[in-house]
Structure 1
């Protein structure tokens, strides 16, 4: 009997789908399929039940109303919480990252909204908007490091509490707002600001999420054209070129 396909669950593309963040779900699915692993991309929209048997769940960027709607829907459905209890991985970008925290603000009056409580972070409006190419350093669990490239565009600045660990350290860009760190990780929940889509730009991070969800290492993929493009992007952002 063949194993069931690995489910990559894309949450609320209609709400949290700006800047092409749905590409993160596509690249995870493809990187499994390129290795001969049966994988299925499962899009879920508000009102649909969130499956509890996914391996990786993804959320992207969105506007204020989209954030509050997504929080309400996910808290009402509870499927994401069950999936995480079952050992799934969540990867959230920008607005998706913010709503994973304890609270975030929306609107001109900076109304404080309770988040999903999956990350020990708080997000508030920053003194200026963070826009532009970013470059940061990610340290893998084995102590080796990799560069993370992407494009950030966010007005929220994020403060980490003691239970969350910064995902990367900044070389170029704002990240969480202090210019020192970007994103957060807590257990099997990962958040970060850059778009790109960021997992297409950074295959090492994509494979780490898959390996964490599956519980075993994956065979490397030899794709020199991707590494060549990464090298050009890294050189450009360090030189301040668009």
Structure 2
């Protein structure tokens, strides 16, 4: 069986390279000898119900509103069916916000209804959150991993009682003032960082795949995972922390 990684509305929610998340998931399955393909669905096309992982990315205000309207129609039924089957949805930034109960965009105080997949509300903040993010994420199996990425959003998100925070912020803004980023509920994980997110955080990529598959993945071959990759990742963490320290010293 070929695993489907479904990118939803790349033309609307793809301005930050978030489609790279789909490529990473497929490649990490293929490296383990498991057939996988990336399927891109655009507005006007039905979302397939047999995906393993679904992906929503970041987009501009008008695109976010257009995407939630399209997914609220019948073409989005496949996403809900897939989640009911046990698939997983990773929603980033605008995709994260539109999965909630409601959101506002830009300077518009008009409240737009979301998909209701996450018990969250997003409203415009006093200032825009822009910059590197460093956090500790809790994966669905209870393990933790360091998350790095880049956030750029004007909305601040409040979690309801049915949603659980995904990551504790060390550097950055995330949801807003609560010290956390993202939310998990049911089979949905929402978060703010781009990067794309999964190339920068391979442990999170494997955690999503294991969550969707319902089993542990075997370790990758040694020729795929090497010391150079780990060194580059450690250097990225150090750069983010150094940048934060310099900013604090100049205040």
The bucket for the TM-score relative to the shorter chain is over 0.9
Query: Is 1:184–2:183 an aligned residue pair?
Result: yes
**d(CA) in 2 for partners of 1:99 and 1:154?**
13
- Alpha-carbon deviation of 1:205? 0.6
Q: Which residue of the partner structure matches residue 5 of structure 1?
A: 2
Alpha-carbon distance change, 140 to 190 in structure 1, aligned in 2, over 3 angstroms: closer
Residue 141 of structure 1 deviates from its aligned partner by 4.5
How big is the shift at 1:108?
A: 2.4
Identify if the C-alpha distance between structure 1 residues 114 and 58 changes in structure 2 by more than 3 Å, giving closer, same or farther. same
| Aligned partners of 1:170 and 1:179 also within 8 Å | no
Matched, 1:113 2:116: no
* Partner Cα distance (1:104, 1:138) in 2: 24
Partner residue, 1:19: 16
Counterpart residue number, 2:168: 169
| CA apart distance, 1:95 | 0.2
After TM superposition, the structure 1 = structure 2 runs for residues 1-242 of structure 1, keeping only pairs within 5 Å, are: 4-76=1-73, 77=75, 78-178=77-177, 180-221=179-220, 222=222, 223-224=225-226, 225-240=228-243
**CA, structure 1 residues 13+227, in 2 after alignment: closer, same or farther (shift >3 Å)?**
same
Question: How much does 1:138 deviate?
Answer: 1.3
TM-score with structure 2 length normalisation? 0.92
- Looking at structure 2, the residues matched to 160 and 141 of structure 1 have their Cα atoms a distance apart, in angstroms, of 18
The TM-score, its normalising length taken from structure 1, stands at 0.95
How big is the alpha-carbon RMSD for the aligned residues of Structure 1 and Structure 2?
1.4
Q: Secondary structure at the residue paired with 1:73? A: helix
Partner SS state of residue 92, structure 1: strand
The answer on whether the counterparts of 2:106 and 2:154 sit within 8 Å (CA) in structure 1 is no
Match of 2:249 in 1: none
Displacement, 1:48?
0.9
Cα distance, 1:218 vs. partner? Answer: 0.3
Segments of structure 2 that go 5 or more residues without pairing to the other structure are 247-251
- SS, match of residue 198 in structure 2: helix
Per-residue CA deviation, residues 14-63 of structure 1 (Å, 9 max, x unaligned), is 00001100000010000000111000110000011110000000010001
